[in-house]
Amino acid sequence: MESITVVKALAALAQSSRLEIFRALVVAGQAGLTPGALAESLRVAPNTLSFHLKELMHADLVTQERVGRNLVYRAQFDRMHAVLAYLTQNCCQGQACLGETTTQCPC
């Protein structure tokens, strides 16, 4: 992953509403959420939500799919994992850390 892609993703998440929207989509998993469900649960105006979803899509953190008459938004888990991998690529001086059962870096 290129640094410019990571910067774009981090910039999109560096706004509290977008971070909340993304987190809600992560919690929803592959089922995703409609804009109506997002707006209701997060108490965000529909036009504001639309703007933030567009920014998250531009950063390739969210996908949009038409299902019947509804749009369904989903978090891009592969992109999220790639950003996290980029950020932790050289953590702990190149040694493995933060395994599934550990909660602290051994460095």
Instruction: Using the structure block, give the residue that is written with the tokens 């995703």.
Output: 32
The domain spans of the chain are 3-89
Distant-in-sequence, close-in-space partners of 70: CB < 8 Å, separation ≥ 6 = 34
Architecture of the domain defined by 3-89: Orthogonal Bundle (1.10)
Report field, pTM of the whole predicted structure over 0.85: no
CA distances from 19 to 9, 15, 70 (A): 11, 6, 23
Give tens-digit pLDDT for 6-49.
999 999 999 999 999 999 999 999 999 999 999 999 999 999 99
